[in-house]
Structure formats: structure tokens, C-alpha cells
Amino acid sequence: MRIVLVGPPGAGKGTQATRLAEKLSIPHISTGDLFRANISQQTELGKLAKSYMDAGNLVPDEVTIAMAKDRMEQPDAENGFLLDGFPRNVSQAEALDELLTAEDMELDAVLDLEAPEGEVVKRIAGRRICRKDSSHVFHVTYGPPKQEGVCDTCGGELYQRDDDSEDTVRRRLEVYHTQTEPIIDYYKAQGLVVTISAVGAVDEVTGRALEALKREGDGK
Ligand code: AP5
Ligand code: ZN
């Protein structure tokens, strides 16, 4: 399956993507995680991305699309993938369509995670991520690690993301509404959007997502 996950910052895209990718046996491709890996390895791309991310703005399309394309061309993505955080504006969505068309492929579904602003702000405020791998995500009250400050998965140190400060979160939400939400209409026109509520326990949301994807698959 080829799936795009969309939703506001803090909706639980990363949390759900990890679980869905495992259940569906497809790789989880997160442009946010790819940028954070570049930042921790201090690459040129990481330095460039950090300046945009810390301000809550989108990293320029040219570098983002090239990075996503490169990742989607890896052998593990041949039979499908779950995109988390990409595309994030209409021009990235058009670029993705072009890439897929060139390979004679198409998307199966766009899963839209809906969550109210008050909830996502609470989720972001309590989020802690792993220094070794930013896809290892915890929450101080909703999903705390067994040992405070230590990643359950790999033992890495947990910390708060630089872009999770109050001001930056406000800007990220604004960018989501103005630049990312329009891709939902773009994909609705292609009949690909399935919307679910991202409110509730993590497992409950995963169940809802799997059911919605199955319904979408059966309907084709
Ligand atoms: P990115 O890393 O993609 O961040 P985001 O979209 O803002 O989303 P988040 O990672 O904040 O939230 P999430 O929805 O994954 O929630 P999570 O599962 O962690 O992007 C960061 C930046 O990179 C961008 O601002 C931009 O600068 C740049 N970038 C990335 N992609 C780009 C692109 N394509 N183009 C240009 N720039 C790009 O959950 C949040 C918290 O809630 C966690 O603590 C979790 O434990 C908890 N939680 C999750 N589910 C539940 C639940 N059901 N109940 C209670 N708590 C829950
Ligand atoms: Zn870890």
C-alpha cells in the first residue's frame, strides 16, 4: 500500500505511523525524522533544515522533495510506504504525483488525522523524543517511559524538541492551516481521503485507522 498521513502537528502522525507501518509491513517515511537525523549528524542539509524548523516554517520544497524522492527509491519502499509529513503543501503533492506517475504507481489512500487544537497543544507540550532516534516518541503523562528521561526502545536520552516551544508551535499550526490543509482538498478531488478522529487512546486510534484503510481498499 502507498499511504499519505496528514494532520496537524501533535495529532499523533508519528505515533500512528510506527504502528501502521509495522502492521502493514511497509516502511515509515517521515521527512521530519529524516531532517532530525541530518541535524544530529550535522550535515549541510541538517544545518539548512534546522534554521527553518526552529522557526516553525517549511524547509524549501527543492531540498525536501529531493530528500523524500531519494528515500522512496530505496529498495524497502518498492512495494509501498507510509509517508508522514510529506507532502506538506500543494506543490509537494504535485511533485509526488509526478514521481509516482513516472514509476507507474499510485497512492491508495490519504489518511487524515483530526484532532482539536487544545488536544494537540497538550500532546506537544508533554512530548519527549529520543536523541538516538527521533521516531521513538513518548509523552510525560499519556505515554511515559518506564524510566524517566530514558528511551524504552534503545536506552537513549529523552529530550524536548527545539521546535516544541510555545511560539514555534503556534507558527507550525498556522503553517498547517495555510499551507498543508489545502492538500486535503487536492486529494479529495482524487477520491483518496479518509478522515478519522485522532482523539482517544493510541491503540483505539490505530484500530480506527486500520478499519478506515481497509474500507477504502475494499471500496476500490
Ligand atoms: P514533523 O516532524 O513532521 O512535525 P509535525 O508535522 O509538526 O508533527 P509532529 O511530529 O509535531 O507531531 P505528530 O503528529 O507526529 O505527533 P506525535 O506522534 O509525535 O516536522 C517538523 C518540521 O520539519 C516542520 O515544522 C518543518 O519545518 C520540517 N518539515 C518536515 N517535513 C517537511 C516537508 N514535507 N516540507 C517542508 N518542511 C518539512 O504525537 C505527539 C505527542 O502526543 C507525543 O508525545 C505522543 O506520545 C502523544 N500522543 C500521540 N497519540 C496520542 C494519543 N492518542 N493520546 C495521547 N497522547 C498521544
Ligand atoms: Zn530510542
| SS3 of residue 125 by DSSP | helix
31 annotated among ligand-binding-site residues: yes
- Ligand 1 pocket residues where CB is under 6 Å: 7, 9-15, 31-32, 35, 52-53, 56-59, 64, 85-86, 88, 92, 123-124, 126-127, 137-139, 142-143, 163, 172, 200-202, 205
**The whole model's pTM is what?**
0.96
At residue 141, the pLDDT reads: 94
179 is in an annotated binding site: no
Q: Kindly indicate whether the ipTM for this predicted assembly is greater than 0.85, answering yes or no.
A: yes
What CATH number does residue 211 fall under? Answer: 3.40.50.300
- Which three three-digit cell numbers place residue 135? 521516531
Share of the chain above pLDDT 90, in %: 95
138 close to 128: Cβ distance less than 8 angstroms: yes
Query: Residue 100: exposed, middle, or buried by beta-carbon count in 10 A (0-12, 13-18, 19+)?
Result: middle
Does the pLDDT value for residue 220 go beyond 60?
no
Q: Is the pLDDT of residue 18 over 60?
A: yes
Q: State in Å: Cα 64 to ligand 1 middle.
A: 16
Domain that holds residue 109: 2-218
Q: Tally Cβ neighbours within 10 Å of residue 90.
A: 14
Q: Which amino acid is at 79?
A: N
Handedness of CA 76, 78, 80, 86 (dihedral sign): positive
User: In b/e form, how buried is each residue of 132-143, taking b as 16+ CB within 10 angstroms?
Assistant: ebbbbbbbeeeb
Reported as a pLDDT band with limits 50, 70 and 90, residue 216 is confident
Q: What is the pLDDT of residues 39-93, one digit of tens each?
A: 999 999 999 999 999 999 999 999 999 999 999 999 999 999 999 999 999 999 9
Centre a 10 Å sphere on the Cβ of residue 207 and count the other Cβ atoms it contains: 14
| CA 22 – ligand 1 centroid, Å | 18
Over the stretch 87-133, which tens digit does the pLDDT of each residue have? 999 999 999 999 999 999 999 999 999 999 999 999 999 999 999 99
Tell me the CA end-to-end span of the chain in Å, nearest whole number. Answer: 13
Nearest to 203 by CA among 47, 15, 22: 15
> Is 11 part of any known ligand binding site?
yes
At residue 218 the predicted structure's pLDDT band, cuts being 50, 70 and 90, is: confident
Q: Total domain count for the chain?
A: 1
| pLDDT computed for residue 219 by the predictor | 67
C-alpha cell at 165: 516551544
- For the stretch 145-202, pLDDT in tens is 999 999 999 999 999 999 999 889 999 999 999 999 999 999 999 999 999 999 999 9
